Structure 1
């Protein structure tokens, strides 16, 4: 086992552990990947002010996200197919998040079901919804999420239809899947991965399969095809009232990238937004989320809680997002690399790396409490650049 010192180490290990089609599903973006690559590049471009002779012997990372106490301002993002990267992957990741004192958000397109996550954890978790054309699905699954103790609903609003991801098409990761000699050989060379997934509780989209079973439709192909055909491009601001009616908990819009949309979200009374470009997997050429964040924070940060995702690979990235107006950050790929590389231990390692990097960077920028983080910790040249974006 190599020495793991950062998320990139987990990424490299994951690449060796899982089939190429699944690794590329996690590791790539849409079209030319301009937005996907910009997410990380723009975060890296930010520079801190190094401060000295400030007593940072005690640093407080604990805070609240959506009014819930968390050990640090980080949550695990909803991601599809985690249970195919590692057997029972969503359950494993949810337990790791709970052990770390942070929240886990389950995807509609998860392999494990809502009820599986409930059985694997003790405390609350969050749920992400894709609003499909069949609104009966949404109403039923939200009732299940509420019954399972989910306290917040994240409605993804940047996927009225699926962006094209070249790697998935080339690898045959589509509905139905396309097997090639290369795929078959690749899978055959990953016996540890295969055994892990075969031992897992489910091999299809657990949340959708439960719904389709009532319609006498079963199997992974049926679930995948149903989802592919039912994304709803008619979803609009008029549907917020319906969402409020069917969901009694906190309501969050995930996929906001424009200041005007942030203000509209606040006008419609949602509890929070996630500044996100879907990890660079939807509209290619959209701005990096860290570039959009300060403008959104200036426009609506005093009216609505702002969360952030996109390119977060370290505690330093978390600190930069907090400085630019986020209340907390989601990690998607970072935890998936850990999951694919080492299962639950890998997710725990990813969270530990981020926590230790955040704690150290706070000390070197003179910050004692994450609640005190502001743009003052950023180097002036970058602050000026942001004002001109």
Structure 2
């Protein structure tokens, strides 16, 4: 029979360790977040619905976003074994300068609506991590302030929507160049604004269209309101003021006449690297490569423009085969983990960009939350690489990934 005795402290105390209490609520929340989805859940609790839905939502039925995320779930990895992965190199050159990780922060609009630290938090966190930060034309922090937030180690890109007012557009470009931004991202999938139905239903306008429902929701987020009301007023970095819906604002800015000649005109004036963002067909990728652009970003705008648009991750292998030797191919939309990033690099992408993942961290905890986003993705990239048996990004190749088919053309 099993002999039993009273437990003695000297026997069980070496087997347990009491966790030191942390009385900093934000630090405790962020430390408990192990995935981007965890940060998303925190962000949803801490942010008014209209602001959260602006980040979370996409166009119309939101099929493009759902399909993009599903595409990353529908992959199979093929690891190699018995490889020395004790030391990893997670960085390489992107557009002529080294990035410590194969991802950067994508341009996002209305960013200080998500958290008052806004683009300053993103630029500072990116600089600390050694990765690029992209500022949107619709950003809410001035170009010069973003450059200052990144400091001497910051690497900043400027994303351009070509307005109907060309002089005003190029004045922004000139400011970005003067502030040391080294890359221009020209977004080309916005002849008009997409139908973002969540924003319309939430009364997301400038100024906000308040209803009993929205006021009640706001009352549940006093910390958000305290930050918003005790810091500098929300304003666009490139627009003095506006009164109307977000869609009206976008439609007033976007120019449906922009064509390849306009792109060539922009290219001739910009002194740094030029990347075209919003490419969704192989034919357009080839034409842009023939023009001599430095990079293209396969993107359907996070599903926020044309619903049922092509999935960028699905386009990636064929575009890389056609233009990858001469032109860098970047990809965004749907990335929610480091494994998604590694799969993209394996299939030929030189770089990836995170938008919502970054904003979830920002909403969850300001600059600390963005740092946590980058830390989570970095850890996942490193772990995935080690489990695949690769010690550097150069060792990743298409044989490491199979894209499983779900949507097959008839």
1:36–1:280 contact (8 Å) kept in structure 2: yes
Q: Does residue 81 of the first structure (1) align with residue 110 of the second (2)?
A: yes
Q: Using the alignment, how far apart are the partners of 1:251 and 1:132 within structure 2?
A: 18
Counterpart-to-counterpart distance in 1, 2:147 and 2:85: 38
Q: Distance in 2 between matches of 1:258 and 1:41?
A: 20
Cα 1:238–1:185 change in 2 (3 A) is same
Output aligned runs, 1:331-346, within 5 Å: 331-346=354-369
Q: Residue 347 of structure 2: which of 324, 329, 341 is its match?
A: 324
Match of 1:208 among 230, 239, 250: 239
What is the distance in 1 between the residues matched to 2:406 and 2:58? Answer: 26
1:221 equivalent in alignment to 2:243: yes
Query: How many Å separate the matches in 2 of 1:300 and 1:336?
Result: 31
TM norm structure 1 = 0.93
Correspondence 1:1-389 to 2 at 5 A: 1-2=28-29, 3-122=32-151, 123-175=154-206, 177-209=208-240, 219-221=241-243, 227-379=250-402, 382=403
- How far apart are residue 124 of structure 1 and its match? 3.0
- Output one character per residue of 1:168-193: Cα deviation in whole Å (capped at 9) or x when no partner: 11001135532111111212221111
In the TM superposition, what is the alpha-carbon distance from 1:388 to its structure 2 partner? 9.7
Alpha-carbon RMSD across the aligned residues, in angstroms, is 2.0
The aligned residue for residue 4 of structure 2 is none
In structure 2, the CA distance between the partners of 1:384 and 1:189, relative to structure 1 (3 Å rule), is closer
Task: Give the drift of 1:245.
Answer: 2.8
Check the 8 A contact 1:294/1:386 in 2, yes or no: no
- Secondary structure of the residue aligned to 1:346 is helix
CA 1:261–1:293 in structure 2 vs 1: closer, same or farther (change >3 Å)? same
Residue segments in structure 2 that go unaligned for 5+ positions in a row: 1-27
The superposition leaves residues 154-209 of structure 1 with CA deviations (integer Å, 9 ceiling, x where unpaired) of: 00000110000110110011355321111112122211111222344341112222
Asked whether the equivalents of residues 88 and 200 of structure 1 are also in contact (C-alpha less than 8 Å), the reply is no
1:94-143 deviation line (CA, Å, top 9, x unaligned): 10111111010000001111122122121331100000100011111111
Closer, same or farther in 2 for the Cα pair 1:14/1:255, shift >3 Å?
Answer: same
Contact 1:105 1:126 in 2 (8 A): yes
Give the stretch that moved more between structures: 173-182 or 304-313.
173-182
Distance, in Å, in 2 between the alignment partners of 1:200 and 1:141 is 25
Distance 1:155 1:142, change over 3 A: same
Change (3 A) 1:112 1:75: same
Shift in alpha-carbon separation, 1:284–1:386, aligned structure 2, 3 A: closer
What's the offset of the Cα at 1:242?
1.1
CA distance in 2, matches of 1:52, 1:153: 41
Q: Which moved more, 1:6-15 or 1:288-297?
A: 288-297
1:223–1:205 Cα change, 3 Å? farther
CA displacement 1:234-282 (0-9 Å, x = unmatched): 1111112210233111111000011000001011111100010000111
Distance 1:227 1:164, change over 3 A: closer
Greater Cα shift, 285-294 or 224-233: 224-233
Equivalent-residue separation in structure 2 for 1:283 and 1:388 (angstroms): 19
What is the aligned length?
378
How many angstroms does 1:383 deviate by? 7.4
Residues in 1 aligned to 2:408 and 2:200: alpha-carbon distance in whole angstroms: 40
Q: Indicate if the aligned counterparts of 2:347 and 2:401 stay in contact, CA closer than 8 A.
A: no
Contact 1:315 1:356 in 2 (8 A): yes
Q: Name whichever of 169-178 and 133-142 sits farther off.
A: 169-178
